[in-house]
Amino acid sequence: MGFSYKLVEEEVMRLRCTIAVNSTLVLAGLLFFATAAGTAPKDGAAGPKPVKNVILMLSDGTGPEGWPLIRWIKGAPLNVDTILAGAVRTYGADSIITDSAPGATAYATGFKGTDKGISVGAWNVTIDAAKEMIAPKYVPLATLLEGARLSGRATGIVATSNVQHATPAAFSSHWHDRSNYYELGEQQVYQGMDVVLSGGSQYLLPKSIQGGKREDGENLVAVIKSKGYTYVTTKDELAVVKGTKVWGAFAPDAMAYDIDRDEFAPTEPALAEMTGKAIDLLSANPKAKKDGFFLFVEGSKVDWAAHANDPAGIVSDLLAFDEAVGAAVDFAKKDGDTLVVVVADHGTGGITIGTKEYSKYSTTDDDYVVGPMRKVQVTAEGIEKLLAGADDQKIKAVMASKWGIADLRDAEFEAISTTIAEKKPLSPIVVPMLSSRARLGWTTGGHTGADVFLFSYGPERPIGLWQNTDIGRSLASRMGFDFKSLNERLFVEDGAAFTPEGFTFTVDKSDATNPVLVVSRGASKARLPFSKNVVLVNGKTIELEGLVVSAEKLDKVYVPAQAVKVLKAELK
Ligand SMILES: [Zn+2]
């Protein structure tokens, strides 16, 4: 075996000990580590004061370099500039470079996650530095949003992706596989949130209805309406909607990039509009007047643009996210008892201002980075839509008018023309044309292991270097709960819940797409459908304070502790 990581670590420890004995440097070192660990209180320890409202905002896939890029292009200070607070370590249980599912799980539950897992315990743990932040594998983990709801707060989610996408899903549902939008989406409908503004209507409707994709026959839009939500689908409807419960689904799947909206999706609201409206609705809710509110906001598609190495999409949606931060901070300034925390889950694309090909970095003026990017009017996805089936003249016209590229080289023109004729994806062909003109570099089409910026505003805001998990734990503590008691309250394993009470239980899979936990005592039975919050018993439907969650990989079902009380009263 060659160079060993363990040996290096031991070597560093020994050196540190030597320094400790020999030098007063140790004190400085200890102070550094005390600060670097952040100020998250351990469960039960005294920490910062409670806060009434919490707004947690996350820009997906946003490493540090995105912020100066958009600041240059805006040509003015950003909203985040005045609230810069520190940085966050983002690694997961099984990778130094985390993905959206474990990244969001860490913030939402206070535990490091495994790739693909949505707020369930990590099942693959390879990173030593994650080992103290791991929950039992595959077990559903209570989230900040669930804790906030049980604390009496009004709760909401805003995102520009479909709401079932990994990050918003991790605050409102539990499943080992992020791609199961149907299971995640169903749990969200039964989660008891007050405001949901996002995309994703196709995952709520059955295949039998036009635009629907669900195979379980469930019409969750009908369920949403029956639960008292006003269901809105356009920005005009959103602008005038009132009431305590609002569900906005503005696109069948993800919403459009901010810069593309006018051209391709004019009925969709902007992220800042959704954020402002969500704050208006939540803060006016009687629950919030008494106990406050919790809002999670995701700028979802900076990450998507970065995966595509499209600088237009990054600039578009990070500027839009910064506008949304402005809306949240404005509210917090007026309110005085609102904590705003702004993070990312990881970097994506490894975008840099400056490239390998461009050696004269030390004389890079506005004509390069800023000039080309300010001419951009649509994303690469927009260019692709505009150029579908385009002839030569249109190619030149669109590249000049929408991307400011009036000097297309012959080879570039040929590449575009051929790709259109072959009906192949055009985005990968055009993005280097913009990146090279703007002197923007990329290191990957995937994620990066960057520490991400932490921004915060409000009473006793978090500052310094944090673990993503400690941000979650600290926000829980600021809202007056801890994840240990919350998990005990919301997720009791079926055997532990029912066997001591003399109940028997089995899973009815006669409808394979809608399994039901059946709990019996003698001849009386109760039915608890998976991914809902109800008990069907004695002809009644009794609502529970949390979800019935199947941990498929463990062949177990988890129920709120409250379900046992209900069943003891109902099953005679
Ligand atoms: Zn992500």
Report pLDDT digits (tens) over 98-119.
Answer: 999 999 999 999 999 999 999 9
Last residue of a domain, one of 420, 440, 460: 440
What does the pLDDT read at residue 22?
Answer: 36
Asked if the model's pLDDT at residue 5 lies above 80, the reply is no
Do 281 and 162 belong to one domain? yes
- Whether residue 91 is contained in a domain is answered as no
What does the pLDDT read at residue 45?
Answer: 54
93 touches 114 (CB < 8 A): yes
Say how many Å lie between the first and final Cα of the chain, rounded: 65
Instruction: State in Å: Cα 99 to ligand 1 middle.
Output: 6
Instruction: State in Å: Cα 183 to ligand 1 middle.
Output: 20
Instruction: State in Å: Cα 101 to ligand 1 middle.
Output: 7
Q: What share of the chain is helix, strand, coil (3-state, %, to 5)?
A: 45, 20, 40
Do 414 and 495 belong to one domain? no
- Ranking 219-233, 352-366, 475-489 by mean pLDDT, the lowest is 352-366
- Whether residue 221 is contained in a domain is answered as yes
Instruction: State in Å: Cα 142 to ligand 1 middle.
Output: 20
Instruction: State in Å: Cα 153 to ligand 1 middle.
Output: 27
- Whether residue 69 is contained in a domain is answered as no
Instruction: State in Å: Cα 69 to ligand 1 middle.
Output: 19
What does the pLDDT read at residue 13?
Answer: 40
275 touches 160 (CB < 8 A): no
What does the pLDDT read at residue 476?
Answer: 98
Beta bridge partners of 492: 559
Do 431 and 509 belong to one domain? no
**360: confidence class by pLDDT, cuts 50, 70, 90:** confident
What does the pLDDT read at residue 217?
Answer: 95
Instruction: State in Å: Cα 517 to ligand 1 middle.
Output: 33
Range of 503's domain?
A: 491-570
Do 506 and 412 belong to one domain? no
For 212-265, write each residue's pLDDT tens digit. Answer: 999 999 999 999 999 999 999 999 999 999 999 999 999 999 999 999 999 999
Do 268 and 185 belong to one domain? yes
H or E stretch covering 155: strand 154-162
Instruction: State in Å: Cα 104 to ligand 1 middle.
Output: 8
* Mean pLDDT for the stretch of residues 325-350: 98
Instruction: State in Å: Cα 168 to ligand 1 middle.
Output: 11
Alpha carbons 137 and 114: distance in angstroms, whole number? 9
* Mean pLDDT for the stretch of residues 137-145: 98
Asked if the model's pLDDT at residue 9 lies above 70, the reply is no
Phi/psi region, residue 228 (left: phi>0; alpha: psi -120 to 50; beta: rest), is: left
What does the pLDDT read at residue 302?
Answer: 98
- Whether residue 486 is contained in a domain is answered as no
Instruction: State in Å: Cα 297 to ligand 1 middle.
Output: 13
Tell me what percent of the residues of the chain surpass a pLDDT of 70.
92
**12: confidence class by pLDDT, cuts 50, 70, 90:** very low
For 385-436, write each residue's pLDDT tens digit. Answer: 999 999 999 999 999 999 999 999 999 999 999 999 999 999 999 999 999 9
Do 181 and 284 belong to one domain? yes
* Mean pLDDT for the stretch of residues 337-361: 95
Instruction: State in Å: Cα 92 to ligand 1 middle.
Output: 12
Do 219 and 279 belong to one domain? yes
Asked if the model's pLDDT at residue 14 lies above 70, the reply is no
Alpha carbons 258 and 321: distance in angstroms, whole number? 9
- Ranking 28-32, 286-290, 389-393, 567-571 by mean pLDDT, the lowest is 28-32
Do 417 and 506 belong to one domain? no
- Whether residue 67 is contained in a domain is answered as no
**32: confidence class by pLDDT, cuts 50, 70, 90:** very low
Instruction: State in Å: Cα 158 to ligand 1 middle.
Output: 15
* Mean pLDDT for the stretch of residues 172-183: 97
Do 413 and 523 belong to one domain? no
Do 254 and 169 belong to one domain? yes
Instruction: State in Å: Cα 62 to ligand 1 middle.
Output: 8
Locate 200 and state its tokens: 């994703």
Alpha carbons 388 and 291: distance in angstroms, whole number? 52
What does the pLDDT read at residue 405?
Answer: 98
Alpha carbons 44 and 67: distance in angstroms, whole number? 37
Torsion of CA 54, 158, 116, 535, to 10 degrees: 80
What does the pLDDT read at residue 46?
Answer: 64
Instruction: State in Å: Cα 64 to ligand 1 middle.
Output: 14
**366: confidence class by pLDDT, cuts 50, 70, 90:** confident
For 259-311, write each residue's pLDDT tens digit. Answer: 999 999 999 999 999 999 999 999 999 999 999 999 999 999 999 999 999 99
Do 382 and 261 belong to one domain? no
Instruction: State in Å: Cα 300 to ligand 1 middle.
Output: 8
Counted domains in the chain: 4
What does the pLDDT read at residue 107?
Answer: 98
- Whether residue 52 is contained in a domain is answered as no
Strand locations in 400-546, DSSP E? 440-441, 447-448, 452-457, 464-467, 492-493, 504-508, 516-521, 524-529, 534-537, 540-543
- Whether residue 103 is contained in a domain is answered as no
Asked if the model's pLDDT at residue 314 lies above 60, the reply is yes
Instruction: State in Å: Cα 447 to ligand 1 middle.
Output: 8
Instruction: State in Å: Cα 58 to ligand 1 middle.
Output: 9
Instruction: State in Å: Cα 345 to ligand 1 middle.
Output: 5
Do 272 and 170 belong to one domain? yes
Alpha carbons 59 and 305: distance in angstroms, whole number? 12
What's the whole-number average pLDDT of the chain?
Answer: 92
Last residue of a domain, one of 271, 291, 311: 291
- Whether residue 483 is contained in a domain is answered as no
For 520-538, write each residue's pLDDT tens digit. Answer: 999 999 999 999 999 999 9
Residue 137 CB contacts under 8 Å (≥ 6 apart), including other chains: 120, 121, 122, 123, 553, 554
